[in-house]
Amino acid sequence: MTTIAINKGGFAEATRRAPEHVMRLERMGAAYPNRLSFMRSLIRRLSAENAVVTRPVWEINDQGYGRAVYSVPLGGDIYSLVAFAQPLAPENRSDRVIAEAWDATYALFDGVPTTQDLDRLEANAPKQEAGRYEATELSLSRSNKSVRFFQHVVDRLSQGQQPDPELVNSVGYLMRTTAVYGNGKLGFGDRAIIEKRPAMRGSFQVEMLNVWLIRGFTLDLVEHVARAKNPEKFTPMNAQTRRSLGIGNSTGLGLAPFLVNHCVLLNNWMEVREVALARVRAVETADASAIAQIQTLMTRAARHLDQWNVADERQMARIIELRREWPEIISLASADWLAQVHPWDRLMQAGAGYSVECQELIAALVLEPYGDLVDDLCDELAADVKPTLEPMMRVGQLADLLDGNYKFALDVDFSAAEAQHFFWYVSEAKLEPRLGKRFEEDGAEKESPLDIARRAQALAHDLDGVDEAQTVAEFLMAHPEHRYVARRVQTSQHHPYCEIHDNLLAADCLPIDMLRYKLALFGASKFDPKSDLWTRINMFQGAPLFEDIAAKDADDWWLPVLGENA
């Protein structure tokens, strides 16, 4: 890691946090959304362009079934959410990715769909994976109602009343998505179609736009049904309540293999955040506005933590600890203390004595006032290169990379059963990633290649004693089973954050930590783990509505506090 270097943007940097520090599961599982998160960057662009969402089609009946289209210009192109709402029998209601029916299904269309496009999509989108699609479809998704809450809102609005604030706070969404597909899956438009468009260069911008438009559709839908139920007494939701409602999501193990299988992308996501943090820590003095903003956000974070309650014992214990710690951070970071030299570096150092949750909350906090220093990095969140084997590299150099970057793997005792407790596989019946217990369940012979630590150690074992001048190509001719991990080790030479520094087979491996890390990158907060394997979240809660996307405070929704405007 370099100290006080000037990067290509011309910004000063303090020392970046090392991969062996930040790429541990415990720390990744304490991640918080920040201003570089995918939802935030999308909203900033929409706001900067004064984007206006229109609704050219609204063919929804009084019961809330039918089709609708929402169109929005972004980066010189127009994107349209095509939504289909249909009845769903209780026995068919499921949040599983393998479900076959949903309350609503969607396609994000490249342009404005014609009537013929709508008819074609109406015949296919409700089938989701079983449908047929064209390159004009950029994303496909579906959602189910939070049935009791949706009906509660309908009943209240139809009687001229607002929804119960406690229910708004405890549920937080009218519908939850069960999958949001992109990047050419199922035959629709590949990323290559949009990757050169500035508005879509960043990671998951198509998918985030899809979800933001879905959120607006659910708000319109519930009001439409309520108005039809009792047009004389109906009253719309107030703006505060509307902003408090996001889009729910249930996320399971599918996100975990993604992080391992896209190691360059993982590197870019983590390195961008660490570069941003290094730039902010290099700030010598903070002006009064930055200090005031930080103090306002610290108070907001405290209220946010008070509203964050989950049933999961492990996460709730961490929240309770953080609630005890955060007032101490607020007390420490007085205006006078922050007015001294290098305030954000000192705040990060002070936080090192607290829990990992507290440390990572501080890391997200200090980025907020410094869009001018860090927002340019959002363009670096994509991955334009793929790992490729360097066959002419010398074996000695490969061994050095292993020793330097894979200590986390070389230190594991794989003779211990606990070190190989789990195996990852894909369920043939459910088509979902799974974790099996190696010594209790069958199927380990079909495990997925997420055993990076074990493979790295096996590579190191077979490299021992090999002539250092030999090429990697020559070595792999004798040991072709190491090609995959050798390529990853070579990738680490220029992508230092490309690996998770833990053994993903270990008995104490918690996949939920990987899920939280990626979901925080999306911009989600208030993680609600339902086990070590899946969690519920809320997306775009507190984010601007269609009608206020161009407001000056459109980017001011970090860690939203429900029932309040700040």
Question: In this predicted model, what pLDDT tens digit does every residue of 116-154 receive, in sequence order?
Answer: 999 999 999 999 989 999 999 999 999 999 999 999 999
Placement of tokens 């918080």 in the chain: 32
Residues 6+ apart with CB under 8 A from 20: 407, 408, 501
- Structure confidence at residue 3 (pLDDT): 36
- Structure confidence at residue 334 (pLDDT): 97
- Structure confidence at residue 441 (pLDDT): 93
Q: How many CB atoms lie within 10 A of CB 78?
A: 14
How many CA atoms within 13 Å lie on the side-chain side of 562? Answer: 24
- Structure confidence at residue 519 (pLDDT): 95
Distance of alpha carbon 388 from its chain centroid, rounded?
A: 26
Going by C-alpha positions, the residue among 512, 527, 535 that lies closest to residue 308 is 527
Tens digit of each residue's pLDDT (9 = 90 or more) over 318-356 = 999 999 999 999 999 999 999 999 999 999 999 999 999
For residues 109 and 210, give the distance between their C-alpha atoms in angstroms, rounded to a whole number.
9
- Structure confidence at residue 212 (pLDDT): 98
Token pair of 536, please?
């519920």
- Structure confidence at residue 1 (pLDDT): 39
392 vs 434, residue with greater confidence: 392
pLDDT at residue 228 tops 50? yes
Mean pLDDT over 425-432 rounds to 76
- Structure confidence at residue 6 (pLDDT): 36
β-pairing, 173-181 vs 246-251, is parallel
The C-alpha angle with vertex 462 and arms to 457 and 466, in degrees rounded to 5, equals 130
pLDDT at residue 100 tops 70? yes
pLDDT at residue 5 tops 50? no
Q: How confident is the model at residue 223 (pLDDT cuts 50, 70, 90)?
A: very high
Strand, coil or helix: what is 201? coil
Q: How confident is the model at residue 255 (pLDDT cuts 50, 70, 90)?
A: confident
Task: Give me the percent of the chain exceeding a pLDDT of 90.
Answer: 85
Q: How confident is the model at residue 40 (pLDDT cuts 50, 70, 90)?
A: very high
Distance of alpha carbon 241 from its chain centroid, rounded?
A: 24
Mean pLDDT over 348-375 rounds to 97
For residues 437 and 205, give the distance between their C-alpha atoms in angstroms, rounded to a whole number.
36
Q: How confident is the model at residue 94 (pLDDT cuts 50, 70, 90)?
A: confident
Going by C-alpha positions, the residue among 467, 448, 235, 273 that lies closest to residue 365 is 273
- Structure confidence at residue 522 (pLDDT): 96
Tens digit of each residue's pLDDT (9 = 90 or more) over 155-187 = 999 999 999 999 998 899 999 998 898 888 888
Task: Give me the percent of the chain exceeding a pLDDT of 70.
Answer: 96
For residues 330 and 150, give the distance between their C-alpha atoms in angstroms, rounded to a whole number.
38
pLDDT at residue 397 tops 90? yes
Going by C-alpha positions, the residue among 509, 510, 535 that lies closest to residue 522 is 535
- Structure confidence at residue 564 (pLDDT): 57
pLDDT at residue 550 tops 70? yes
Q: How many CB atoms lie within 10 A of CB 189?
A: 22
Mean pLDDT over 38-43 rounds to 97
Q: How confident is the model at residue 217 (pLDDT cuts 50, 70, 90)?
A: very high
pLDDT at residue 565 tops 50? no
- Structure confidence at residue 432 (pLDDT): 77
- Structure confidence at residue 533 (pLDDT): 87
How many CA atoms within 13 Å lie on the side-chain side of 428? Answer: 3
pTM: 0.93
For residues 275 and 298, give the distance between their C-alpha atoms in angstroms, rounded to a whole number.
23
pLDDT at residue 430 tops 80? no
Placement of tokens 């103090």 in the chain: 295
- Structure confidence at residue 486 (pLDDT): 98
Q: How confident is the model at residue 10 (pLDDT cuts 50, 70, 90)?
A: low
pLDDT at residue 482 tops 90? yes
- Structure confidence at residue 4 (pLDDT): 33
pLDDT at residue 566 tops 60? no
